[in-house]
Each structure stands twice: as C-alpha cells, then as structure tokens.
A and B are shown apart, each in its own frame.
Chain A
C-alpha cells in the first residue's frame, strides 16, 4: 500500500495563476482532509470530505476549492494564487469520522506563490 500520496511535491506559481493539488489514498478511507502548515500557525484545516461527492469547509477555506469525485481522490484547487497561499499543504485521510480514528498524512506539497 502506498498510503496517502500527493502530487506535485513542489510548485512555484506566479500571483494569479491557478493550479490543482492531487491527493490519493489506497486505504479505502471515507474521510479526507486538506491542511496547510505555516510557521507558528501549526496545521490549519482548509476543507474536508466525509465521503465521495461531499465536501465541507474547514477553518481557512477562502481562496480554495475542493472536489471529491472519486472516493480515493481529493483535489485542492487554487483559482487565483496569492502570496499568502505560500505554504506546505498536507492531505490526510481517516477510516471514518469516529473520534478514535487516526489520520494518515501524505508527504506534503511545498507551494510558493511569487
């Protein structure tokens, strides 16, 4: 099992450009999450999904959109990138939404917006 994978690993964008980050998991997990990690801010939840075809907003959703067309994939889109979106993005998945469930993380995508 590959677990949780993220594509790409690194990306540099210019302000106003768009891009999509792909997260894939092969563990048949129901729930998936997108976080951003910034120095001094810890991990902040952007969006999450409780199942195929459903998404919900997290703590910092502005400027991002997501889609979960297939159970194994969770896409994060930036329609018009801004320097404030420079960050490391982590995807995670968990078997369900039970309060005892562990989250499994991807390796991260380092995004720089110039």
Chain B
C-alpha cells in the first residue's frame, strides 16, 4: 500500500516554541495530503489539506516533492495544540489501499 510515515510517536514542545510534526509519503504522482487532529475525547477532524494552501490555527504545511514530505509547522506552540495529529493520504489514489500515518501525540509543556 502506498502510505505516509510519521517518524515521531511522541513530541513534547514548550509553550511558545516552534512546532514541527514530520510526515513523509511514499507514493508517486502529484499527491494530495491532509493533516487531521484529534483533541482529547473528541473525534478526528480535518486540520488542513495541501490543496487549500491555508493556515489553520496558526499551522501550515508545505508539500516538498524533492523530500517527499508534508511537515506540519507552527511558529509558536500554544497549550491547546496538545493533541494527536495524523498525516493522511487521500481516500483514493489509484487502486491502492491507502493508510493513515501512525500519528504523533503532541504535548505542549506550559
């Protein structure tokens, strides 16, 4: 299956420090990628997606085709950013069974 990889299962960052959650992908073509977030006791929800080129809650993600990466960044972490973050491929890419990344649990230290 074509997939995405999140190398960090856990990430702790001090409040006010920059945040970078890593995501690498392994499929060819022009990928569309998403970041989903799951706050404590809440459902997964879309944070942002590549095609929109937008910034949500201060987060941005740039697709780097040379490095096959889609890292999520925020210049100044806030306590409410503590959550589980998933990098995800599109629902369909050819006939591949696409899978989410394994997720990174981000903890913001006050």
Contacts and interface: CB of A to CB of B under 8 A. Distances in A.
Contacts of A102: 34, 46, 49
Interface residues of B, number: 26
A57 B55 CA distance: 35
A92 B46 CA distance: 12
B97 A58 contact: yes
A42 B45 contact: no
Contacts of B49: 100, 102
B93 to A, nearest CB: 6
Contact of B91 (A42, A57, A101, A108): A101
A103 interface: yes
B57 interface: no
Contact of A100 (B1, B44, B90): B90
A35 B101 CA distance: 13
A90 B92 contact: no
B90 A59 contact: no
Contacts of B44: 43, 90, 92, 105
Interface in B1-37: 1, 6, 9, 32, 34, 36
Interface in A29-71: 31, 33, 35, 40-45, 57-59
Interface string B31-63: 010101000001111100101000000000000
Nearest to A38: B102
